[in-house]
Chains A and B, each alone.
Chain A
Amino acid sequence: MVEALKIIKAMQSGLRHLFYSRVTRRYPEVDSGLPEGYYSFDPKKGVATAGWKGRHYLEMDKCTGCQLCSFMCDEISNAIIMVEVPEVRFEQNKKSLFPSVDYGRCVFCGLCVDACPFECLHMTPEIRLADYDRKKLYYSPLELSIQPAVGKPSYVVGKRKERVEG
C-alpha cells in the first residue's frame, strides 16, 4: 500500500509540470521582457539611477569637449578617445572634440557618465553589439549620437534576411 502511494506521489509531481507556464523567453523573435530604463547620473544632486548599462548615447549639442570622460576612462580600461568631428560645429565646442568609444575595451562601468558635468553622455539599454569585425566595435561620436531602437527584435530566426545588420 505504501509502495503504491509512493508511485502515485511520483506521478503527481511529474504531471504537475504539464500545467506550469513556460519559463523560457523566446528572445530573438519576441522582446526580451527585461525591465527598461537606463543608467543616468544627475551631477547637481549627485544621485544616480540604476538601470541598464549598454551602449552610450551622446548628445552632441550639449558636449563641450572637456575630456573628463576620457580622463576617467584612462584609469579603467582606456576605451574612450577624444576625436575631432570637422563636419559638426557648435558654439560651446569650438574645437569640436567628441568622445569615441571602443567597445572591445569598454567594461560598461558607467564612470564616464558620472564624470560628465553637462549630462550629455548617457547609457542606453542597447546590448546587441556583437559584430563580425573588430573594427566595427569602434563607435565614432556620430554613431554614438544616434538613439538605438531598443525593445524591437531585429532578427527573424529560421528565415533568410534581406540584409545583414552591422
Chain B
Amino acid sequence: MQSKIDARAIEAIIQSRKEGPQPTGVLVGKVDEVIKPKSLLRRTFDYIIGEPLTYLVNWGRLYSLWPTHVETACCSVEIGASAGSRWDIERFGVLEAFGSLRQCDLMLVMGTVTRKLAPRLKLIWDQMPEPKFCIAMGACAISGGLYEQSYNVLQGVDKIIPVDVYIPGCPPPAPAVIDAIVKLQEKIRCMDLKGRVASEAYLRLSPKWRFR
C-alpha cells in the first residue's frame, strides 16, 4: 500500500482548489445570522457575564444528550453495542433508553425511513423542545442507501428534518458512533445562549474568535 506520488503534492492541489471560487455554504440545522460588529458596552457585557453564562449552559447541554431512538433497521444493533459496557456512550451523557420525548435533546435516526414513517418522524421531531439535535446514522438515513430511487423509501431524512451530524457506514461501527457524538459536542460548544448553532465556517474558526 505505498504510492509513488508525494502526499504533499496532492494536498497542495487540494488547497489550490479550495482557494478558488467556492459555492456559498449551505448551512445545516439552525442558521445563524450575519455577524454584526458589536458596541463596546455590549462587548464588555459579553465578556463579563455573557461568555461565562454561555459556557455554563453549554456545559450543561453537552453531557446530558438524552436521545430518542428511532430504530427502524440494523443500525440499532450497533447502538446497542455502543451502549454496552465495552464502548460506553453513557460516558458522554447519551442514555440508551429514555421515556419521554419532552425531555429529549437528541434524535438518533437509525435505518431506513419509509414514506409511511416520515410524517410520524416529523411528529416526533416537533414534540421535542428546543434546543434539539439530530444524528442520521447509516447510508439509509443519509441518502436512501441501497434503496436508491425506491418508491417507498425516503431518500434521506434531511429532506424533512435538519440533520446535525451524518455517520456514514452500513451500519457504522460503535467507534464511529462515539466519534459522531464527540463531533456533536464540539458543535454544541459553539452554541449561542439562544440555542443558535453557528455555521460551519464559523465552527472552523479558532475558539478565541468565537462569541466576541
Contacts and interface: CB of A to CB of B under 8 A. Distances in A.
Given A28-B179, A155-B179, A127 B173 contact: yes
Interface in A52-84: 57, 59-61, 76-78
B28 A60 contact: no
Nearest to B143: A104
Given A60-B5, A127-B173, A128-B175, A134 B186 contact: no
B4 A61 contact: yes
B166 A78 contact: no
Interface string B138-150: 0100111110100
B194 interface: no
B119 interface: no
Interface in A111-131: 122, 127-131
Interface in A1-43: 23-28, 32, 34, 38
A44 interface: no
B183 A132 contact: yes
Contacts of B11: 146
B49 interface: no
A133 interface: yes
B168 A77 contact: no
Given A61-B4, A147-B7, A160-B189, A27 B178 contact: yes
A104 B1 contact: no
Contact of A132 (B1, B156, B164): B164
A142 B33 CA distance: 34
A7 to B, nearest CB: 27
21 contacts: A23-B86, A28-B179, A57-B1, A60-B5, A104-B168, A105-B143, A107-B145, A108-B169, A127-B173, A128-B175, A128-B179, A130-B167, A130-B168, A130-B176, A134-B163, A135-B26, A142-B10, A143-B14, A145-B5, A146-B7, A161-B207
